[in-house]
Amino acid sequence: MFVVWITEFLLYICLCLLTGTLIFYSLPEHRRPNIFVSKRLLLWTTVGAGALSFAPILSTMITMSNGIGFWTSFKNVLFVFEAGQAWIFTLAMALLLFGLIYFNRLQNDTFLARIGLILCVLLIGGYARAGHAASLYPLAGFTSHFFHLLAVTIWGGCLFVAAWLSKDEQNWGSFLRWYTPLALISVLIVLVAGFFTMDIDIAAPLSHSLSSTLYQYKQGFFSNYGQALLIKHLLVIPLLLYGLFNGFFRKAIKRYHSIKWARAESFVILLIFAVTAFMGQQPPPHQPDQYLNLYGPSPLFLAIYQKNIPSDFVVHFSFNVFSFIFIDFSLLFLLMIILSFIKKFPNIISLLMAVGFLASTYFSIMATIA
């Protein structure tokens, strides 16, 4: 499970680097940052996208092989299961993209770069088709997961490439003029598609009800999946704050170093990727009472809650002194993040404040569980 977690985390990075680079190569040079992406890096990320997406398929094969043998399991998973067929499609797109990159200089050919971007989008579609949400609800699950992942790779991909592969801040203003509205649209898609994906993952059957989804969400706090989902959502708050400063308020701050703060924002995205990859290896709490009997409570939840958890456990919230104390700390850390932008503190300071905000907000929520 740990290996699959790492491979999925690396896969998100590969998809971001591919998507961001191909978007930049699809544009005229004066509209993109002054980036340098070696062909070798692009080729390796393409190989990584095809190979790393195989890890969950391999894990399923190994699990099934205990009763029927590995070769039979291999044939069934790869050629009968929809997840296996989706991975074959993903591999085909990765091979086509690899050939396109290997035999051409995409940075000098916007048309071929756009062809590569289409192949990359199809590759992401193949991976989404093999996901958990699509296995539960083929159309709704695939659609929500695909648009969620695509929006994340567009938003995060452009940010990663601009932040880490730019040689200087040349054309940065021209880049932000189109990237800022694109990032806003991507954020909206991430939020909407993310809600529907969450509804599919944690609600059984599909609820189509906000109250039902929120009930399942808070009821799943005692699971590994629910704990990771809560942490992921809390990380989104400082991420959006970074995005606001990088996109809108940078001109109000003298000597604002765009690359420096874009790199800080990218670190928060990496944390979200790590949490998301962990979630992908955990069983969602569709039916909380059965979940407790099968898997037991999350060790993290148990360490904080420190009470007996019956199989019919229901999460209730009750504010107390400790929850208000942690809320005060979270607001203080949020204020410190803003001050770190205005006062131009080192990146590490704002990142530590973001971690402090995450911890204090998390404990404030956990302290309210009665």
pLDDT along the chain (370 residues), means of 10: 86 96 95 92 96 88 80 85 91 97 94 97 94 82 93 94 88 87 92 86 62 80 92 93 79 66 90 92 79 86 85 83 93 92 86 95 91
The string of DSSP letters for 269-331 reads: HHHHHHHHHHHTTS---SSHHHHHHHH---HHHHHHH-S---TT----B---HHHHHHHHHHH
Q: What is the pLDDT of residue 255?
A: 60
How much is the pLDDT for 208? 56
Counting the structural domains of the chain, the total is 1
Residue 347 in domain: no
* Residue bearing tokens 């609820």: 207
Q: Residue 342's pLDDT is what?
A: 83
Residue that is written with structure tokens 């001050």 in the block: 339
Residue 160 lies in a domain: yes
Residue 216 structure tokens: 């399942």
Q: Which of 10, 8, 11, 21 is nearest to 117 (CA)?
A: 21
The neighbouring-strand residues paired with 347 are: none
Check residue 259 and give its pLDDT.
82
Is 350 part of a structural domain of the chain?
no
* Domain, as residue range, for 204: 2-315
Could you tell me how many residues make up the chain?
370
Q: Please, are residues 262 and 250 in contact by the beta-carbon 8 Å criterion?
A: no
Residue 69 falls inside a structural domain: yes
Handedness of CA 226, 229, 233, 234 (dihedral sign): positive
Widest pairwise Cα distance in the chain:
66
Is position 198 within any domain? yes
Task: Give residue 297's pLDDT.
Answer: 87
Classify residue 340: in a domain, yes or no. Answer: no
Structural domain includes residue 102: yes
244 falls within a domain: yes
| Spatial distance between the Cα atoms of 265 and 159, rounded to a whole number of angstroms | 8
Q: How many CB atoms lie within 10 A of CB 17?
A: 25
Helices within 130-257 (DSSP H only):
132-136, 138-165, 172-202, 210-219, 224-244
Which of 14, 222, 35, 27 has the alpha carbon at shortest distance from 124? 14
